[in-house]
Structure 1
């Protein structure tokens, strides 16, 4: 009679950003073989396949011993009951009896999957950090409940988590963070850990966004002509203006190098893929922007985003601008400036690096005087009203 063979295996070709590889349970029986994810990741350099041990990691070794015993226990029960079993039946019983499907296990497994995708360049580092933000908040919210079974995640828990987030986040930020948890739960469903969708009756509504903030040409001139003695503030002003005249986001400005400048038929262009989307931006380099680059020998002294936004707040105070300046205002300003100077929506879309013109309409907020001039120029018809 053939008996079940149990073995743990790794896949050296699937190493994540942390240098770890997934540990899988391999079952062989009746000339068939299946592999089951354990949710554990190990250092492949410390793995001894022959001894079925991880050097220096007693927790993983104990886990493997316990899981191996559980599998053989399931087989023994089938034999006692004289049941003709197969690998799928053992797998189902293993899933039923498994106590390893904790919230902590799910979060750790999902994090390792994301690390793999960053390494494979399927997702960006910035996307990964957004999921890490949810992970951090959710762990803090759960505390010791993180060791509970994944079934503990239900609609009531999600609503409580949302209320918890509102203590430190805006409504829209809280919803964005909760939506990251939704992706984690969808992954849990896809691997069979979560049976019922905990988000089925959840429907959070985001607040409508405020009107896009941008600088008028008068406000832009104020910043350009501002006499600044402080060196650091002067650098922040120049970087902000450079973004206003190129539409580059903070991160794209920070990554900018001289090699991104290309010679066109009528002048220089900045040609660079956006960090956020990977879409190409092709930006005509205005004289004012090029002068700023020359001032810093084409290497802009871009600080951290925290310091940048803090200094922009001071810059707004110095120029009497009555709304908060931040990195996005520069991009909005550039888009509006281009539209107000009769650059087509298609042209603006190319400069901003949008994949469709629909996205560019988000920025299409023209000044009142521009709208007024366009109406007069296009509808200069005389009517006599009696």
Structure 2
């Protein structure tokens, strides 16, 4: 027995509505055939509350006058009449069993069970229970396929979805059968208006919910994903990055605090290698290699995507590594003494204030700065993607605005002087003609 005192208001309302449904209405009707209105196939209609579902019985009636809709009997055809009564009894049994065990009472589900298209020997989980199971499986993949940050994000998304269910009066007992495509719009409105989240973060929460429903489809808790065709548009903002002058001012700066000095060095190292915070924190001596010509490079899979990055080490990066050859971090096989991400960002904010840089300094800004430096200095797109570890499509989508000047210069240089000769020849010929 459910203890109502521990339930939310929305959940108590759902239980009250459930208790109002004491039975289901079962009826039969003839769906007119193409041969005429006098004959047709007998259909069963199940109505529970405001929902209903229909299913063909496969019985064809040649003469409608022999059909009695009140008693669901076919005059002169006792076997078919008994079959219809048997179907009605089976639906009542299925409904009673699902009602007692508090499972979904969707008429469509009951008719599918009747037709043998699905079973109900196992209690179907609610949406939130399904999300919990998906998170449990994700937890088992931490360290091998995904990182801890991804698991933490999934748990946060689940909290937001739970809050939305309470806000929209869906409650914690919401079943997969209750999900409609309109739920996407309701969720986005809640996240953007009530939680004040951005468009892109709200889309992440929605995509997590949609993935959890795909997870349910794989376990056959639901036949299809009602949110599969929902398309939401992301907002793409202009890339923020430091220019060469700002980078040089950061390199030339002298700090009294050794902590600021270390954070500055790590940030500059990221600016010339494109390594994300997690990757630079876990950078090991075993991931540094040397070519036959004596040039050093980094080769390691990116933590986030597992895509291998091939990063030639430029002089500024090599100089920073040389400064920490005797640091305690080398005893643990690490190349740089990287503090926590929170401390890094806190110290970077102090550096920003000291140097008077307008852009907000944070660890990920270094990665964007590296990409921008490569593009501005004419490094080919394919090479930049190999160093940064992302696709050409992603680069063109996010960094097109930075490449505009380069594209203009490339096109102008390609056609420079080619049509001036033709124009001069034309002018000279015109002068001769005159």
Q: Give 3-state SS (helix, strand or coil) of 1:213's partner.
A: coil
Q: Deviations over 1:244-281 (max 9, x none)?
A: 01111111111111211111123111111111121211
How many residues are paired up?
299
Task: Give the superposition deviation at 1:109.
Answer: 1.7
Q: In 2, distance between residues paired with 1:294 and 1:104? A: 52
Cα 1:365–1:259 change in 2 (3 A) is farther
User: Partner residue of 2:310?
Assistant: 282
Residue pair 2:161, 2:205 contacting (<8 A) in 1 also: no
Q: Which runs of 5+ in 2 are unaligned?
A: 1-96, 102-114, 428-434
Structure-1 residue corresponding to 2:209? 181
Unpaired runs of 5+ residues, structure 1, are: 1-69, 75-87
SS at 1:228's partner residue? coil
Distance 1:188 1:236, change over 3 A: same
TM-score of the superposed pair, with normalisation by structure 2: 0.59
Q: Deviation per CA, 1:46-103: give whole Å up to 9, x if none.
A: xxxxxxxxxxxxxxxxxxxxxxxx89x99xxxxxxxxxxxxx96971425xx3x5223
Asked whether the equivalents of residues 339 and 364 of structure 1 are also in contact (C-alpha less than 8 Å), the reply is no
Match of 1:24 in 2: none
Q: What SS is found at the alignment partner of 1:318?
A: helix
Q: Which residue of 2 aligns with 1:321?
A: 357
Partner of residue 5, structure 2: none
Report what 1:225 is aligned to: 252
- The answer for the alignment partner of 2:278 in structure 1 is 251
- Corresponding position of 2:322: 294
State the match for 1:171 in structure 2. 199
CA RMSD in angstroms, aligned pairs only: 3.6
How far apart in 1 are the matches of 2:358 and 2:126?
50
* Alpha carbons 1:239, 1:300 under 8 Å: kept: yes
Partner of 1:303: 339
Q: Does structure 2 conserve the Cα–Cα contact (< 8 Å) formed by 1:106 and 1:150?
A: no
CA offsets 1:21-64 (integer angstroms, 9 cap, x no match): xxxxxxxxxxxxxxxxxxxxxxxxxxxxxxxxxxxxxxxxxxxx
* Rounded Cα–Cα distance in structure 1 between residues aligned with 2:228 and 2:288: 50
User: What is the rounded CA distance, in whole Å, between the counterparts of 1:380 and 1:197 in structure 2?
Assistant: 56
Residues 117-156 of structure 1 mapped to structure 2, 5 A cutoff: 117-118=141-142, 121-143=144-166, 145-156=171-182
What residue is the counterpart of 2:383 in the other structure?
347
Say if 1:287 and 1:246 are closer, same or farther in 2 by CA, change over 3 A: same
Distance 2:384 2:352 in 1: 26
